Amino acid sequence: MTETTDVVVVGAGVAGLITARELTRKGLNVVVLEARDRIGGRTWTDHRLGHDLEIGGTWLHWTQPHVWAEVTRYGLDVTRGPRSEETFWLAGDEVRHGTLEDFMELIDPGMTRLLEDTMKWIPRPDQPLKVREIAEVDQFNLQEMLDELDLSVDERNANEAAWVGHFNGPLDKCAYTNALRWTAAAAGSWHLMHEASAIFRLANGTRSLVNAIAQDAGADIRLGSPVRSIEHDADSAEITYGAGETIRAARVVITVPMNTLHQLDITPALPEGKIRPSLEKTGSRGVKAWIRVRGPIKPFFAYSTQHHPLSVVRTEYINDTEAVLVAFGADSTRLDVNDIDAVREALKVWRDDLEVLETTGHDWMADEYSQETWLIQQPRQLTQYLEAQQQNTGALHFASADYANVWPCFIDGAIESGFNAAREIYAAITASAQLTPAT
Ligand SMILES: Cc1cc2nc3c(=O)[nH]c(=O)nc-3n(C[C@H](O)[C@H](O)[C@H](O)COP(=O)(O)OP(=O)(O)OC[C@H]3O[C@@H](n4cnc5c(N)ncnc54)[C@H](O)[C@@H]3O)c2cc1C
């Protein structure tokens, strides 16, 4: 027999858990169907290399309004990694060595010129399509825009590597408008954008945030319950999941990542504006690696180029005997983060004095329930698809960091989208004559 409930949420990542919390607090019955055997989705704190490491999303900031409100709500502690005492970068094949300030000075002219029109194109980051002429710049990839600047080899490598750290993909696949959106969210300051996206993390891991939201939600969260198909009309939907169980709901919230959406068997089919970007895929397709090395070493930061398997590496944990580094590369097919020899080799671009003891990470690109790391749109995806991606289709609503306005692809964006979906669903349910929310 088919079970019934008010709302089904597909996915127990941050967007899904926020939607569930907001709706249960309004008195609705909510069932969350999660494919994995854990909650959190692309945030995942796991004990490896002797630390609680963030395998997925990590950094957050007080300029990110939605996530910071959650930090305050649950009284979560925020911390940071050690300050870098030395920095390495490349000029051609030559390794340069200096301070982090030297490196920031090196990239500053390129960053400033690249982003000088940010607030012209995106005066309101909460409305990224407010200036309709943004379609003119949305056709460009970041590489083209960097090439226009005619930077010296030093500056070019450094700027490219810094952007790989941000975009986790080949720069010719990533739309320039992503850079504008991130910088607009930081009020036009690239320095603030840089800080907001890569310095401060939760002292007890993203796990502490995710668990707090889930406990507060009090929803019926069913792990190991992949959704297979959804049949829907204007008033309700029937979902088939797990080993063939069915459940009917007045509203469904789909929170699966953009790259996986097209795989859900949905009848009637979703509009083109939702399916086409899912088939085209994101521009981001990179890796995040964790690396344990023998100490003592000084905390350091290093940038290579976008063409190296690892473009950025830095010290995130350190003591007298060892350090744990975090690193990013543009292309997951170029580096298996669990292959210690490959990682050791990748580090040699900067220094061959590091003794690599252990490495770890997760191949989010190969993971069937993510197939992406954090969303960076390809050229034209913002202007062609975002509006359609945010809209509901009858009883189906969509929440995901991938479809957020202010900090798209961040934990903050997942929360923003969860709030929006919950508000719309509550309004729709209470407006419907046939449906009386449980109290
Ligand atoms: C390596 C990495 C580093 C990152 N770094 C940062 C960072 O430093 N700061 C930051 O703010 N953000 C970062 N992010 C991005 C951030 O983690 C994500 O944007 C955010 O967590 C996405 O939340 P979500 O709820 O929208 O999607 P998800 O977390 O992907 O949640 C979707 C859920 O749906 C489930 N699901 C998928 N298919 C099905 C199905 N068929 N049936 C049922 N369930 C299904 C998934 O298992 C998942 O739990 C990073 C991400 C990665 C991967």
Reported as half-sphere exposure (CB side, CA atoms, 13 A), residue 28 has a value of 29
163 pLDDT higher than 60: yes
255 C-beta closer than 6 A to ligand 1: yes
Arithmetic mean of pLDDT, 411-421: 98
Among the four given CATH numbers 3.90.660.10, 3.40.50.150, 3.40.640.10, 3.30.200.20, the one describing domain 104-200: 3.90.660.10
Any known ligand binding at 422?
Answer: no
* Mean pLDDT, range 277-296, rounded to an integer: 98
416 assigned binding-site residue: no
pLDDT category, 385, cuts 50, 70, 90? Answer: very high
Which among 256, 265, 368 is the best mutation to test ligand 1's pocket, defined by most ligand atoms within 8 Å of the CB?
256
The answer for residues whose C-beta is within 8 angstroms of residue 436's C-beta and 6 or more apart is none
Alpha carbon separation from 254 to 8, 84, 389 (Å, rounded): 9, 41, 11
Confidence of residue 439 (pLDDT cuts 50, 70, 90): very low
Model pLDDT, residue 263: 97
The residue whose CB lies within 8 Å of the most ligand 1 atoms, and thus the one to mutate among 374, 389, 407, is 374
Confidence of residue 434 (pLDDT cuts 50, 70, 90): low
Token pair for 86: 């030395």
Tell me, in angstroms, the distance from the centre of ligand 1 to residue 286's CA.
15
Q: Is the ipTM of this complex over 0.90?
A: yes
224 backbone φψ class: left, alpha, beta (φ>0; ψ -120 to 50): left
Q: What is the pLDDT of residue 91?
A: 85
35 among annotated binding-site residues: yes
pLDDT, tens only, 105-155: 999 999 999 999 999 999 999 999 999 999 999 999 999 999 999 999 889
Q: Please tell me if the CB atom of residue 374 comes closer than 6 angstroms to any atom of ligand 1.
A: yes
Residue 435 has pLDDT above 80, yes or no: no
Residue 223 has pLDDT above 70, yes or no: yes
Q: Which residue, by CA, sits nearest to atom 52 of ligand 1?
A: 56
Spatial CA neighbour of 128 closest among 63, 187, 181: 181
**439 compared with 222, residue with greater pLDDT:** 222
Q: Which atom of ligand 1 is nearest to the CA of 33?
A: 43
Bridge partners of residue 97, in order along the sequence: 88
How much is the pLDDT for 432? 83
pLDDT tens figures, 38-57: 999 999 999 999 999 999 99
Q: Which atom of ligand 1 is nearest to the CA of 12?
A: 49
**How many Å apart are CA 350 and CA 344, to the nearest integer?**
11
Establish whether residue 256 lines the binding site of ligand 1, counting it when its CB lies within 6 angstroms of any ligand atom: yes
Tell me: pLDDT of 266 over 70.
Answer: yes
Distance 248 CA to ligand 1 centre (A): 25
Residue showing tokens 């920031």:
104
Q: Give the position, in ligand 1's atom list, of the atom nearest the Cα of 412.
A: 11
Q: In the chain, what are the domain boundaries?
A: 3-42+205-281+370-431, 104-200
The answer to whether domain 3-42+205-281+370-431 has CATH 3.40.50.720 is no
| 34 annotated ligand-binding residue | yes
Residue 384's pLDDT is 98
Atom of ligand 1 nearest to the CA of 287: 1
Please report the atom of ligand 1 found closest to the CA of residue 373: 53
Q: What is the mean pLDDT of the chain?
A: 96
Distance between CA 214 and CA 219 in Å, rounded?
Answer: 8
Cis peptide before 296 (omega within 30 of 0): yes
Can you tell me the distance from the alpha carbon of 67 to that of 409, in angstroms, rounded to the nearest whole number? 13
